[in-house]
């Protein structure tokens, strides 16, 4: 029988305190186990990472029987990451056949390593805009070092995210495969997922595990994270508790994109320069009377709403610098923060109690007085913060609540379906989402 055989349909699963214990087999590489050497192994490979790997080892074969067996054991546990073991079997692997070629094993090992460290799917395949900081690993050098140590299992185990949330989502995925599912319990007034079927939960969890593998393992320690799936934000800074609050984010037809950018200034009493498409489709058809009531007029060739009580940007704008004109801001429509579904904007993020958040951020560099003076002025004022604060827009429909429970939210943007399909999962029944009525604001 070949060292590589088809992945078993049922895997051994262990779960303790919501954390999956990975069963990984390690193997040494003693002189008696060295692979047979041959000249120019790997030189004809099209895969650039695999070619670099063989170049690092002088174009010599890499895989001993013990190392092949160790790799087989690790790939068999791919389901704990929401991945299909069959997707990572080496080309030419078959029951009762000879071992796959050395190059094919290497390509399979690198593909699985990439899936664990950076994701199996390129995010740009399923999202039109994606600028979040990605994880980056030198896989060729990593694999060579692992084989030199005789510890392929340990190296692969080190590549996936190790944080509590990833581990909890992994455990929930395994539980869903075992047909136990998750309880229907919302967190912080967030809507729960529309399907409680374990199979649908499993595909949703698999998509969210993949999204976390995309991300850098060392995000900025001082940042704002907005979860656009459930319309909440978290403000994180060193040596301080997390400040959390509600947001209003892009509706289904105009989703808030998955981006990462930063701001270093606050704009007090900002005007709203209305994007051309919004002006033409939603505002200008309402006539001059509406424009007058909403304090809107043309400034040059752009429709603009003046600062004041009616301004769609409220009293403060967090001037996030990105090419998509997506930013955080206040709003006069405070009642929307109490809504169950807060996907009501044209893509920008309205922040609950934005003035208090802005004042606190300004105070971090002794700019609170300057901010208050700017806010109390009659016109628009900019306040430089003397620091840059990154903002990440994350679409996480599976997440941990403050009590450590895994919760699922509806796939408002339809992104879970696209990603799950790309990962090889079947389609789930699409929830019928109601679009909000009148929108005013970015």
> In angstroms, how far is CA 281 from the centroid of its own chain?
32
- Give the strand pairing for 398-400 and 406-408: antiparallel
77 membership: H or E segment, kind and range: none
294 in Cβ contact with 271 (< 8 Å): no
233 in Cβ contact with 396 (< 8 Å): no
State the helix-helix crossing angle for 102-118 and 198-214, rounded to 10 degrees: 90
Query: Quick check: is 348 catalytic?
Result: yes
258 in Cβ contact with 119 (< 8 Å): no
- Give the strand pairing for 343-345 and 243-250: parallel
Query: Residues near 255 by Cβ (< 8 Å), separated by ≥ 6?
Result: 228, 347, 395, 412, 413, 415
Q: Determine phi and psi for 378, rounding to 5 degrees.
A: -80, -20
**Residue whose C-alpha is closest to residue 380's, from 303, 319, 298:** 319
Share in percent of the chain as helix, strand, coil (round to 5): 35, 15, 50
345 membership: H or E segment, kind and range: strand 343-345
Burial class (CB within 10 angstroms; exposed 0-12, middle 13-18, buried 19+) of 43: exposed
Q: Which of 29, 81, 329, 346 is catalytic?
A: 329
**Residue whose C-alpha is closest to residue 186's, from 402, 344, 420, 431:** 402
Q: Using CA atoms, how far apart are residues 103 and 256, in angstroms rounded to an integer?
A: 42
Give the 3-state secondary structure of 81-150.
HCCCHHHHCCCCCCCCCCCCCHHHHHHHHHHHHHHHHHCCCCHHHCCCCECCCECCCCHHHHHHHHHHHC
397 membership: H or E segment, kind and range: none
Q: Determine phi and psi for 5, rounding to 5 degrees.
A: -125, 175
Query: Quick check: is 329 catalytic?
Result: yes
Q: Which of 29, 81, 343, 348 is catalytic?
A: 348
Structure tokens at 169: 């989502």
Q: Using CA atoms, how far apart are residues 355 and 47, in angstroms rounded to an integer?
A: 52
Enzyme catalytic residues: 329, 348
């Amino acid at each position: 029988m070949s060292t590589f055989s088809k992945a078993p349909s049922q895997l051994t699963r262990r779960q303790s305190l919501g954390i999956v214990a990975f069963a990984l087999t390690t193997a040494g590489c003693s002189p008696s186990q060295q692979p047979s050497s041959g000249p120019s192994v790997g030189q004809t490979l099209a895969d650039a990472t695999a070619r670099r790997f063989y170049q690092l080892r002088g174009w010599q074969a890499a895989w001993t029987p013990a190392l092949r067996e160790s790799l087989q054991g690790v790939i068999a546990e791919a389901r704990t990451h929401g991945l299909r073991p069959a997707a990572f079997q080496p080309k030419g692997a078959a029951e009762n056949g000879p071992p796959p070629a050395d190059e094919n094993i290497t390509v399979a090992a690198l593909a699985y390593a990439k899936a664990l460290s950076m994701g199996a799917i390129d995010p740009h395949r399923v999202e039109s805009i994606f600028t979040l900081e990605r994880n980056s690993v030198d896989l060729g050098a990593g694999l060579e070092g692992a084989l030199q140590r005789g510890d392929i299992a340990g190296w692969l185990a080190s590549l996936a995210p190790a944080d509590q949330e990833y581990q909890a989502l992994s455990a929930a995925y395994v539980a869903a495969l075992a047909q136990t599912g998750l309880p229907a319990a919302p967190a912080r007034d967030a809507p729960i997922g529309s399907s409680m079927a374990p199979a649908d939960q499993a595909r949703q969890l698999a998509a969210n595990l993949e999204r976390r593998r995309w991300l850098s393992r060392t995000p900025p320690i001082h940042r704002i994270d907005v979860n656009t799936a459930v319309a909440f934000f978290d403000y994180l800074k060193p040596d301080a508790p997390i400040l959390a609050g509600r947001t209003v984010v892009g509706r289904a037809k105009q989703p808030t994109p998955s981006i990462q950018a930063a701001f270093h200034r606050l704009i007090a009493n900002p005007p709203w320069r209305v994007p051309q498409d919004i002006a033409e489709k939603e505002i200008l058809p309402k006539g001059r009377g509406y424009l007058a009531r909403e304090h809107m007029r043309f400034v040059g060739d752009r429709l603009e709403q003046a600062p004041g009580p009616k301004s769609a940007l409220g009293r403060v704008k967090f001037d996030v610098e990105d090419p998509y004109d997506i930013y955080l801001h206040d709003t006069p429509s405070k009642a929307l923060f109490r809504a169950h579904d807060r996907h009501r904007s044209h893509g920008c993020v309205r922040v609950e109690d934005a003035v208090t958040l802005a004042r606190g951020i300004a105070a971090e560099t002794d700019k609170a007085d300057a901010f208050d003076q700017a806010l109390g002025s009659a016109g628009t004022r900019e306040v430089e913060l003397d620091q840059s604060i990154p903002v990440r827009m994350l679409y996480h429909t599976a997440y941990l609540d403050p009590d450590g429970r895994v919760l699922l939210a509806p796939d408002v943007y339809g992104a879970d379906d696209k990603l799950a399909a790309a990962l090889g999962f079947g389609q789930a029944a699409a929830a019928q989402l109601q679009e909000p009525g009148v929108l005013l604001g970015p």
